């Protein structure tokens, strides 16, 4: 069905925009298409980054509004956002899930097409451009929602995402201006649109949009790498019992699980945030085994990767009933605690005692040091890697590669297995 | 804006991202298949193995520990004659074994003919025990000075070694204690400490004679995977 065989949307007489330079609406349509194209680039880069990580390895990611700018490999807002559970859908049934950026790419590609198609039209109807305004409401609305999530839930912003939010807003405004200009009576209907309703056109264009999304989603579902190892795990605990009472309950009901944690390890903090955000934490009866990567108490590290981690671990062991409170505080204050310990560990110990007076007399004592040592010896007994975080569901170890993007899929798959067995 | 043009435009708009997405997915799949096991490059948690743990030292420690019942459950401690026999070395050589432990060892001093530790001795035992780090064995080597009867001194040194163990047991109630602590009591006749050990970390400050330093229990974690 082409526009020429359409219906009259306004009841007015059609105008043939000739010569084309006098068309007051087309520039705004072209502008909206240009912003959509820019958004395609941004969401395309995000999608490429996301898909690249489906090989379960660490890669650099694009983190600039300038296409082609250098990539970042370390921690950044872009990485935090990408690893957050809000970056994709259906994460428990597909490793990594279906990236939101892919949907975004599909929608913006469609808006490029629709904008160009309308701009190229020799004759245009008021309500045709109204469709474009409504279509732009989708990315605009999603931008508002995701901007709010970035600010309130994730606490980090991704530059490419900000680019998408901006182009969504500007694209929407261009479409709106086009519609306003169109509605000022400068245009009239097609001869061919003499009768009938615009609904069939809207439905057709909506279906086209769905086709764009459907094709890309279908390609992703068919082509995404299958990761069998994620469910099998990477090794098992050989001595999961706890005769020395070193495991700290972190709450939850469900499958017994153990997390090897360092309270001053940024990766552990990120892991904790992802696990909480995934909604799967409640399905795990989680216990923590402390494994500070701090040379002060851990003989397995050559240098103190996280100075002060021994002191914070002692504080947790001193008040196991307040483990969650101390751990959350350590995660929240991680940077300042690390800096303080690096300068003077005694100052850190004083700060801990001031914040948690209950640890006084216990922190630094022979007993708690002995207990912390046993905590690390539990790792020795199980021949664990000198690495945090590590998560064991039952006695099955979640592979390190599955603790970020594939966390939900892996945990959900492991929880679906019978306890201690295989599917 | 006619039908065929719109259709061509739509197809172009659809095909380009489809090709890109397919390409990215294909690359990810290939990369996943090629990825090796990087986990083998990460160190595995293990007990400590210090530089002084030469094969010779470890061999002797193992023989001493085995002969003294440390490597088996249940028995603990060994007679002075046994220690001398399994070590198969002079007293000076035996003491030399422990010299690399100067930064780890503590010498708990006792009053003459006494087996009770004072508060400083107890504190030093607790400090030493809590500084286990990656060590596997805690050695307690008790002695007596040459004053008095030889048999009495043997019994005295045994009781001094046991006093350390008892204090550890009461203080820490550690289920691993029996697997990790090895007691040796040497009495007065074998491997007496020289005055140079007065400079080591002791539970008492002040004067230190040969007799003082041998009315003692030498305690140290051994950082060797024996």
Q: Is A286 in a helix, a strand, or coil?
A: strand
Residue A421 lies in a domain: no
Residue A293 lies in a domain: yes
- Counting every residue written for chain A, the total comes to 423
Residue A13, pLDDT score? 43
Dist. CA B112–CA A407, nearest whole Å? 65
pLDDT of B12 above 70: yes
A172: domain CATH number is: 1.20.1440.130
Nearest-Cα distance to chain A for B206, in Å, is: 25
Residue A252, pLDDT score? 87
Nearest-Cα distance to chain B for A285, in Å, is: 25
Alpha-carbon distance values, B195 to B125, B200, B210 (Å)? 21, 10, 6
Domain of residue A314: give its range.
231-416
Q: Are A83 and A270 in contact (CB under 8 A)?
A: yes
**B106-109 and B216-222: which strand pairing?**
antiparallel
Dist. CA A362–CA A313, nearest whole Å? 12
Between B61 and A319, the higher pLDDT residue: A319
Please enumerate in sequence order all residues whose Cβ is within 8 A of that of A27, keeping only pairs 6 or more positions apart, or say none. Answer: none
Same domain, A40 and A104: yes
Q: Which of B6, B35, B134 sits opposite A2 (nearest CB)?
A: B6
**A213 at the B interface (CB within 8 A)?**
no
Chain B neighbors of A6, CB-CB under 8 A: none
**B9 at the A interface (CB within 8 A)?**
yes
Between A185 and A127, the higher pLDDT residue: A127
B3, B19, B24, B131, best to mutate vs chain A, most A CBs in 10 Å: B24
**B138 at the A interface (CB within 8 A)?**
no
- pLDDT tens, A267-283? 999 899 889 888 898 89
Q: Is B13 in a helix, a strand, or coil?
A: helix
- pLDDT tens, A39-72? 999 999 999 999 999 988 878 777 665 555 555 5
So what's the ipTM on this one? 0.81
The residue-averaged pLDDT of B178-183 equals: 82
B3, B4, B11, B13, best to mutate vs chain A, most A CBs in 10 Å: B13
pLDDT of A335 above 60: yes
Chain A neighbors of B3, CB-CB under 8 A: 1-2, 4
- Nearest C-alpha in B relative to A2: B3
Taking CB atoms and an 8 Å limit, are B172 and A113 in contact across chains?
no
Same domain, A277 and A372: yes
Q: Please, what is the Cα angle at A234 between A317 and A302, to 5 degrees?
A: 55
Taking CB atoms and an 8 Å limit, are B10 and A117 in contact across chains?
yes
Report whether the peptide linkage leading into residue A389 is cis, meaning its omega lies within 30 degrees of zero.
Answer: yes
Q: In 3D, which of A75, A79, A97 has the Cα closest to residue A88?
A: A97
Given A183, A201, A223, the domain boundary residue is: A223
The residue-averaged pLDDT of B165-186 equals: 86
pTM (2 d.p.): 0.77
Taking CB atoms and an 8 Å limit, are A227 and B32 in contact across chains?
yes
Q: Which of B1, B18, B171 sits opposite A216 (nearest CB)?
A: B18
Taking CB atoms and an 8 Å limit, are A44 and B28 in contact across chains?
no
Same domain, A37 and A75: yes
Cβ–Cβ contacts within 10 Å for residue A255, how many? 17
Same domain, A164 and A47: yes
Q: Please, what is the Cα angle at A38 between A37 and A44, to 5 degrees?
A: 85
Nearest-Cα distance to chain A for B146, in Å, is: 34
Q: Which of A56, A102, A117 sits opposite B21 (nearest CB)?
A: A102
Nearest-Cα distance to chain B for A281, in Å, is: 25
Residue A196, pLDDT score? 58
pLDDT of A20 above 60: no
Same domain, A345 and A262: yes
- Nearest C-alpha in A relative to B128: A366
Beta bridge partners of B221: B138
Given A202, A223, A244, the domain boundary residue is: A223
Ranked by mean pLDDT, the top range of A109-113, B80-84, B180-184 is A109-113
**DSSP conformation letters of A77-134:** HHHHHHHSGGGEE-TTTSTT-EEHHHHHHHHHHHHHHHHHHHHT-SS--HHHHHHHHH
Q: Are B98 and B218 in contact (CB under 8 A)?
A: yes
Same domain, A144 and A286: no
Same domain, A294 and A400: yes
Same domain, A266 and A198: no
Taking CB atoms and an 8 Å limit, are A110 and B13 in contact across chains?
yes
Joined together, the tokens standing for residue B165 give 């163990």
Residue A28 lies in a domain: yes
- pLDDT tens, A286-318? 999 999 999 999 999 988 899 999 999 999 999
Chain A neighbors of B1, CB-CB under 8 A: 2-4, 117-118, 120-124
- pLDDT tens, B143-153? 999 988 989 99
Cβ–Cβ contacts within 10 Å for residue B59, how many? 11
Q: Within the 4-43 window of chain A, which residues sit less than 8 Å (CB to CB) from chain B?
A: 4, 40
Given A223, A242, A269, the domain boundary residue is: A223
A369: domain CATH number is: 3.40.30.10
Task: Calculate helix-pair angle for A323-332, A334-343, nearest 10 degrees.
Answer: 80
**B181-185 and B137-142: which strand pairing?**
parallel
Same domain, A191 and A255: no
Same domain, A256 and A365: yes
Joined together, the tokens standing for residue A58 give 């660490």
What is the total count of domains within chain A?
2
Same domain, A306 and A383: yes
Dist. CA B23–CA A225, nearest whole Å? 12
Taking CB atoms and an 8 Å limit, are A385 and B28 in contact across chains?
no
Taking CB atoms and an 8 Å limit, are A227 and B31 in contact across chains?
no
Taking one residue from A and the other from B, the number of pairs with CB-CB distance under 8 angstroms is: 155
Same domain, A262 and A216: no
Dist. CA A30–CA A116, nearest whole Å? 6
Chain A neighbors of B132, CB-CB under 8 A: 370, 373
Residue A422 lies in a domain: no
- Quick one: residue B206, left, alpha or beta (phi over 0 = left, psi -120 to 50 = alpha)? left
Residue A218 lies in a domain: yes
**A248-249 and A98-99: which strand pairing?**
unpaired
Cβ–Cβ contacts within 10 Å for residue A357, how many? 8
- pLDDT tens, A230-239? 788 888 999 8
pLDDT of B140 above 70: yes
């Amino acid at each position: 069905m082409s526009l020429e065989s359409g219906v009259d949307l306004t009841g007015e007489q059609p105008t043939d925009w000739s010569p084309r330079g006098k068309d007051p609406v087309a520039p705004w349509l072209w502008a909206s298409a240009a912003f959509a194209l820019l958004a395609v680039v941004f969401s395309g880069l995000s999608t490429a980054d996301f898909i690249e990580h489906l090989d379960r390895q660490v890669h650099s990611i694009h983190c600039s509004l300038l296409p082609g700018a250098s990539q970042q490999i370390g921690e950044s807002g872009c990485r935090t956002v990408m690893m957050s559970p809000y970056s994709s859908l259906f994460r428990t049934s597909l490793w990594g899930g279906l990236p939101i950026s892919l949907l975004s790419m599909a929608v913006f590609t469609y808006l490029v097409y629709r904008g160009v198609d309308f701009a190229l039209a020799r004759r245009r109807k008021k309500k045709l451009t109204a469709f474009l305004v409504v279509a732009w409401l989708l990315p605009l609305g999603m931008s508002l929602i995701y901007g709010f999530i970035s600010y309130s839930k994730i606490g980090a912003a991704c530059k490419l995402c900000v680019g998408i939010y901006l182009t969504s807003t500007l694209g929407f405004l261009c479409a709106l201006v086009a519609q306003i200009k169109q509605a000022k009576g400068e245009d009239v209907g097609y001869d061919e649109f003499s009768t009938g309703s615009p609904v069939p056109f809207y439905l057709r264009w909506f279906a086209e949009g769905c086709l764009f999304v459907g094709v890309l989603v279908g390609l992703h579902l068919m082509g995404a790498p299958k990761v069998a190892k994620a469910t099998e795990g990477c090794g098992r605990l050989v001595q999961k019992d706890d005769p020395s009472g070193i495991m700290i309950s972190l709450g939850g009901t469900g499958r017994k699980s153990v997390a090897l944690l360092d309270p001053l390890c940024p990766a552990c903090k990120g892991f904790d945030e992802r696990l909480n955000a995934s909604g799967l934490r409640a399905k795990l009866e989680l216990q923590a085994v402390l494994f500070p990567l701090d040379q002060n108490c851990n003989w397995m590290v050559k240098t103190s990767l996280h100075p002060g981690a021994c002191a914070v671990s002692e504080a947790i062991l001193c008040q196991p009933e307040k483990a969650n409170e101390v751990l959350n505080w350590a995660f929240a204050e991680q940077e300042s605690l690390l800096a303080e310990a690096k300068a003077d560990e005694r100052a850190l110990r004083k700060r801990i005692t001031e914040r948690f007076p209950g640890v006084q007399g216990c922190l630094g004592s022979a007993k708690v040091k002995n207990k912390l040592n046993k905590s690390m010896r539990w790792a020795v007994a199980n021949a664990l890697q000198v690495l945090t975080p590590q998560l064991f569901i039952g006695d099955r170890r979640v592979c390190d590669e599955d603790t970020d993007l594939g966390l939900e899929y892996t945990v959900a798959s492991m929880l679906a297995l019978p306890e201690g067995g295989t599917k | 804006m006619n039908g065929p043009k719109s259709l061509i435009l739509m197809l172009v708009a659809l095909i380009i991202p489809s090709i890109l997405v397919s390409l990215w997915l294909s690359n990810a799949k290939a990369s996943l298949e090629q990825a090796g096991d990087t986990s083998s490059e990460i160190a595995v948690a293990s007990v400590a193995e210090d530089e002084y743990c030469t094969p010779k030292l470890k061999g002797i420690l193992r023989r001493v520990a085995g002969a003294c019942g440390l490597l088996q459950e249940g028995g603990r401690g060994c007679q002075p004659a046994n220690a001398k026999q399994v070590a198969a070395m002079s007293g000076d050589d035996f003491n030399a074994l422990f010299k690399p432990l100067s930064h780890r060892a503590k010498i708990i001093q006792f009053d003459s003919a006494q087996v009770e530790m004072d508060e400083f001795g107890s504190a030093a035992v607790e400090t030493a025990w809590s500084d286990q780090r990656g060590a596997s064995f805690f050695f307690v080597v008790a002695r007596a000075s040459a004053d008095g009867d030889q048999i009495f001194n043997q019994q005295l040194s045994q009781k001094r070694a046991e006093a350390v163990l008892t204090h550890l047991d009461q203080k820490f109630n550690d289920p691993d204690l029996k697997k990790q602590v090895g007691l040796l009591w040497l009495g007065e006749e074998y491997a007496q400490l020289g005055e140079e050990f007065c400079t080591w970390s002791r539970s008492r400050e002040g004067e230190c004679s040969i007799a003082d330093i041998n009315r003692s229990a030498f305690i140290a974690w051994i950082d060797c995977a024996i």
